[in-house]
Chain A
Amino acid sequence: MIQIYNVSRAYQKDSSALDDITMKIPKGDFVYITGSSGAGKSTLLKLLYGAEKPNRGQILIDGQNLTRMSPARISLLRRRMGVVFQDFKLLTTRTVFENVAFPLEIQGRKRYEISKKVYQSIKQVGLEHKLQRHPLELSGGEQQRVAIARALVVDPLVLLADEPTGNLDPEVTVEILELFRGANARGTTVLLATHDREMIRRFPRRLIVLESGRLVDDRTP
């Protein structure tokens, strides 16, 4: 599903955010990417959803070379990906329903199809009774659930999450983790960047450890 070959990314001349990373992530895997702040977790995810390009190396997603794609083709690839962020990135002027429907509107799906899929996705995250609320009317945990619903509504091949529980309480973290597990159980490949050891301990899965931009460990429990 995801193949990364000798990827490096530097923002300045003498400091690398990522240094010669090579890894393979098969379809259906659930992978934690961990490390301290500045280890390169977020940079790796940005490379995977095409927000940045590596200075060296290749990235293949579902057989397509991301590093050689035009912006338009990257956009099309993103329609098959879901991305979740620490700060939720929801549209505050739109309702829960409209936020989750957004990716499907972008894809030009028909209205009845959008309604059906959006309702399904919101139900999966347990917010079907808050369809018409706006994000600022929800708690942090609820907002993150909306963000996850938006990521899952497109039936993504891969779900990328960058510190999705960074702003949330421990109890809420567990609920969010359950949603990712549920998505993975349905066949979605999940990459979750986190430095939350408790989460990793509670639900052990393959662990990739980054340190100062280098891959220092890659183990499966």
Chain B
Amino acid sequence: MFERSGFFVFRALRNMRQSPMLCGAAVGTVAVALTILAFFAIVVLNVQKLTRHWSEDVQVVAFIDTAPEERLLRQWIADIRGLPEVEKVEFVSSIEALKRFKKRLADDADLLEGVDLDILPASLEITLNEDSRNRVAVSTLVSRLRQNTGLSDLRYGQEWLERFEAFVSLLQLAGAILGGFLLFAALFIVANTIKLTLYARRDELEIMALVGATPMFIKSPFLLEGVLQGALGGGLAVAGAYALFQLFLRQGLDSLLLASGVERVTFLPMSWQLLLIAAGVLLGLTGSLLSLRKLVRI
């Protein structure tokens, strides 16, 4: 069986060597399509980092008019922490709230001179866990808080949440549409390139069938050829994306992310790079399969 595999690989490589232009066209097409996809993925991944950073601001703030006694406060905090949507709860006293407000005012902090220390209400700042940073989970949490704890003055940036969710959905939709379109285009071109290769070799295929080669024997080198072309294209796409990243993307995204307090922009993680190569392999294989269905007949 290994001997046969070696035979098929040999024939696939020989086919590619004998038609360098066709092979180059297929590899190039896969590389270009996947590079564009990778480019988009880098942008999306880094923007998602930004939106994740923003989403850490998704909080519910429960204002407390009169600070309760210590025991009740601890009870509230424990109850709220126990809710499935909650990551952490922080009590901000009136004094602490005033300190924060003064800090925000910076040079204008002296406007607050003479003001009572308990002028601002105390509050419980409730941070949601990552999975619950959406409108539905926030609404559920707010209802639970109102029921379980009796807290009524709850603020949670409803409008901002809706806009944030819409933005993320749009980003994902745009990625899916563009990605789908590009993949389809690449598949079409790879299939036609393999079809041209098959057409150029139709005499050989006919004779192979006549002397007793099984359909799978005839198809295997071409399937392998598609796989190899796809893998090469995928590898080139990773290299091309990295080049584009270094030359163009890094500077642009860096300024955006740093301004928002996020760490530096990053290239695709290793798992995504391998996924890119796997996508190339799948493209090449599918293109070959589509072409072989029609051309190889007894």
Contacts and interface: CB of A to CB of B under 8 A. Distances in A.
A79 B212 contact: yes
Interface string B162-200: 000000000000000000000000000000000000000
Given A51-B298, A71-B298, A107 B212 contact: yes
Nearest to A77: B212
Contacts of A81: 212
A189 B126 CA distance: 91
Interface in A64-105: 71-72, 74-79, 81, 83, 89-91, 102-103, 105
A77 B212 CA distance: 7
A162 to B, nearest CB: 11
A103 B298 contact: no
B44 interface: no
Nearest to A153: B211
Contact of A106 (B3, B203, B211, B215): B211
Contact of A78 (B4, B203, B211): B211
A75 B214 contact: yes
A91 B203 contact: yes
Nearest to B3: A108
Interface string A2-23: 0000000000000000000000
Given A74-B298, A75-B298, A106-B217, A91 B207 contact: yes
B4 A103 contact: no
Contacts of B4: 108
Contacts of A76: 212, 214
A1 to B, nearest CB: 18
Interface residues of A, number: 24
Contacts of A30: none
A50 interface: yes
A103 B215 CA distance: 14
Nearest to B214: A75
Contacts, number: 54
A41 interface: no
Interface string B1-43: 0011001000000000000000000000000000000000000
A180 interface: no
A140 B43 CA distance: 64
A150 interface: yes
Given A72-B216, A75-B298, A91-B204, A103 B3 contact: no
Contacts of A79: 211-212
B259 to A, nearest CB: 62
Contact of B215 (A50, A75, A107): A75
B216 A49 contact: no
B31 to A, nearest CB: 29
B52 to A, nearest CB: 54
A106 B206 contact: no
B209 interface: yes
A55 B206 CA distance: 23
B181 to A, nearest CB: 36
A50 B4 CA distance: 25
Nearest to A79: B212
Contact of A75 (B206, B207, B212): B212
Contacts of B213: 75, 106
B212 A78 contact: yes
Interface in B212-254: 212-217
B115 interface: no
Contacts of B206: 89
A71 B212 contact: no
B215 to A, nearest CB: 5
B210 interface: yes
A154 B215 CA distance: 19
Given A71-B214, A78-B209, 5 more contacts: A72-B216, A74-B298, A102-B208, A102-B211, A107-B212
12 contacts: A49-B210, A72-B214, A72-B215, A74-B298, A75-B215, A89-B210, A103-B211, A106-B208, A106-B211, A108-B7, A150-B211, A154-B211
Give me the 4 closest cross-chain CB pairs, A-B, nearest first. Answer: A79-B212, A103-B211, A78-B212, A75-B214
